Structures are given as C-alpha cells and as structure tokens.
Amino acid sequence: MADWPPKKNAAFTVTFPIYDADGDLVTGAASLDSEVSKDGGTFTDGTNEAGELATSSGIYSLVLTSTEMNADIVATITKTGTAGAKTAVNVMYTAARQLVDLAYPTTSGRSMDVDASGGVEVGSFQAGAITAAAIATDAIDADAMADGAITAATFAAGAIDAAAVANGAIDAATFAAGAIDSAAIATGAIDADALASDAVTEIRSLVSGTSDSGSTTTMVDAARTEADTDYWKGAWILFTSGNIANQCRLITAFDPATDTITFSPATTQAVATQTYEILPAGRSDVALWLGTAVNALQSGRVDAFVGAFAAAVITSGAFNAGAIDASAIAADAIGASELAADAVNEISDGIMTRASSNWEASAPVKSLGAAVMKAVHRIRDNAGTLEIYRSNGTTVHASQTVTTDATLNPIDELTGAA
C-alpha cells in the first residue's frame, strides 16, 4: 500500500536507502538478504527480496506480504555483500485504519468534511444509524429546541405513521402527567384521515393475518402459533378482503395442531386467502337488562320472562319427541287447583272410552287395568285355574287358582264382553 501508516494484515511496500560508512548511498548493492521480525520475534527470511529503484539510485524497496504485516510492530533488516555497506533497518507500527479511510477531499460514503473552525460536518447517516439507544435520556428537551422550531409544516405529509414509530417507543412515561388533554388536541384534529388503515386494525382487533386455506366454516393460518386448544373460542373473526369481506363470524373452536379456527354460522363462500382480524369477544350487561344485580345462573342460563306468544307459535312440531317427560314436571306441579273442571272431564272421559288394547300389555296383574280386563275380557276356568285373556281372546294375561265347592253350581266359563 502507498498510504500511511502501514496497515495491519495488509501487504505493504517499504522504501529505504543503503549507506556506506561515510554516509554515501550505495548503488548496485550485491547479494541482498532481507529478513522480517514480527512483534519482536526472531528474524526470518522474507518472502520477497529487496531491489534497487531505477538505476544506481541507492534507494531500495521491499514488498512485505499481508502475513508478514500481521503484527503490531514489524521490523526488517536488509544486508548486502558490498564492502563497506551498512545493514538497512526499518521498524513499522501498523494500524487498523489508514488515512485513505478518512479520504480528503470528500469521498462519497466514507469521508468527513472539516470546516475552517475544525468542526466535522456529516453529510448523511446510514439508514437506521440513529436509534433510540443512541440518544441519551433527556438529551432532547424543550430547551434544546428553538421556540416554534417544530410545526405541522415541519413534517412531510404522512411522514409519521405507525411504521415510523418504534414498537414501545411511546408509552405512558413518555408524556408528563396531563400533557395531552382536551386543550392540546384541536377540534377535529383526529379524523378518519389522521389514522392509517393499519392503526385502525391495531385499535379494534387482537390480531390480524392472512388465511392459507379453509372452508365455509373453517380458516387455516400457519401463522397462528397459539398453543392452547380453543385459545380463540368465543372471539369473533372478521374477514376483510376477497369475496367474503366484512363477514363476521363467532369462533367456536381452535385446533393448535392444525392452526385451524372453526366458526359459525357458515360464510357465503369458502375461505381462500383472505385477510382477517380477530376481534375481542362481546359481553352483555345482564344487570343493565334486569335493572338490578344478577342472581346466580340456573343451570348456566339467564332466565327470561316472555310476556306473550304470537297465536299458534307453539305447535306439536316445536317439541322434540319425549321432550316433556316425568322428570320435566316438578313434583306436585299439577294439583287439583291446576286442573279446570272441563280438563278433569276430558281426562275421565278419555279413561272410560279408551280401548284396553292400548294399555293391556303393560298392566300389572294386580292393577285396576287387570280388574277391568277380568270384567270385560274373556275368562276361562281351565282345570281349576281361572285364565284372564287380553282383548284378542287368545293371549292369557293373568291367572288365578279356583277353589270349587260341589254343593254349589260353579260357573265353568265366561266369554269376553261384547
């Protein structure tokens, strides 16, 4: 290198004279022998040999390799076989940088301008060179800025948006207590145009993303890395692009193994690669409904009072089969006072006119139903056993042992009532 000082671990050419005992330059020095020492170590033969510059100049140069220059102190000696010539000695202190690294005059990208007063002027900074950590706490305060130095015109349109502010750079501690109050914000200063679209998303949603695939009831996004099952259950998913934009659905399940969100009801078309937001779960103020504090829930439900039903709104189809069974009716829920006279008549008429074929199979032997069958169905004395038949006249439902008395005139058989 031609620059100075010699650079560590970089090839360097050292130039030197060779003198005789009288101090005269020695030209054409013969049998030159150059050796190198690094950081005070043993002198060893150099990779290259010194040579005289031009013809009969008495000035010589030696090219040192980067390996030979890889030391803080590099020393060379050059001996000669010429009679009366003295050994030339060179000692160099290397540096990590050379003057060329602070090029004068200005060299784009690596130079400094020094003004007449010795001040250094910086033309520009590399992107990201000035960070929050580079500025000391309180270095920039009100006293550091001239009155009115920063106005609305100081900033280019849109210069300060969400991306311009580092995450967490502005927090509660940034502002003095009460620094931002209603008087500090001009009327109408914050309108729709003042908020970037991503800022609105940040305000209203918990997270946002882009789906990879899905169906009309599912959405898959590999970026959803939450580890818990049903992590998002109960929240809302709002699709913000594509053919299902602005459709909002309730999240009913989340599978962390497949990064799948399940929602309801179905969207009008299947999820593809739509952008989406997950919104917080809504909550209802039940106390506001009731106008009083809420009692404990009954079976997890909030009781409601219905003032009236539209005509014929409750039909037989409104009940599932078996929906009203014995367990659905509380003990003593239906007493004499709950039955109107005509209802009692309806029940008794139904009992008196109901055909026995509807209930005889389940009637216990010792029951009113069996007594009715004995009175109206076929009965027969079969060798001392009284057989009571069902309404078909062939199936024996119950039997009784008959004790006979020869002095009497026993009945042998009674047929069923006509």
Mean pLDDT of the chain: 83
Tokens of 334: 């239906």
**Per-residue pLDDT tens for 222-256?**
999 899 999 999 899 999 999 999 999 999 999 99
Strand partners, 264: 250
Predicted confidence at residue 413, as pLDDT, reads: 58
Specify the DSSP class assigned to residue 93.
E
Q: How far apart are CA 336 and CA 322, in angstroms?
A: 25
Predicted confidence at residue 216, as pLDDT, reads: 96
Please report which confidence band the pLDDT of residue 186 belongs to, taking 50, 70 and 90 as the band edges. Answer: confident
Q: What end-to-end distance do the CA atoms of the chain give, in Å?
A: 135
Mean pLDDT of 20-25: 93
Please report which confidence band the pLDDT of residue 2 belongs to, taking 50, 70 and 90 as the band edges. Answer: low
Beta carbons of 238 and 299 less than 8 angstroms apart: no
Residue 139, pLDDT above cutoff 60: yes
Mean pLDDT of 65-91: 95
This prediction's pTM: 0.31
Q: How far apart are CA 55 and CA 219, in angstroms?
A: 85
Q: What are phi and psi of 244, to 5 degrees?
A: -120, 25
Strand partners, 15: 61
Tokens of 205: 């949603």
Q: How far apart are CA 339 and CA 23, in angstroms?
A: 143
Predicted confidence at residue 261, as pLDDT, reads: 96
Tokens of 155: 């900033």
Beta carbons of 5 and 60 less than 8 angstroms apart: no
Q: How much of the chain is helix, strand and coil, in % rounded to 5?
A: 20, 25, 60
Residue 363, pLDDT above cutoff 60: yes
- For 312, residues 6+ apart whose C-beta sits below 8 A from its C-beta are none
Q: H or E element: which one contains 35? A: strand 33-38
Is the peptide bond between 105 and the residue preceding it cis, with omega within 30 degrees of 0?
yes
**CATH (residue range 12-99):** 2.60.40
Predicted confidence at residue 331, as pLDDT, reads: 83
Predicted confidence at residue 418, as pLDDT, reads: 44
| Domain boundary assignment for the chain | 12-99, 201-279, 358-414
Please report which confidence band the pLDDT of residue 111 belongs to, taking 50, 70 and 90 as the band edges. Answer: low
Is the peptide bond between 256 and the residue preceding it cis, with omega within 30 degrees of 0?
no
Mean pLDDT of 271-282: 88
Predicted confidence at residue 318, as pLDDT, reads: 79
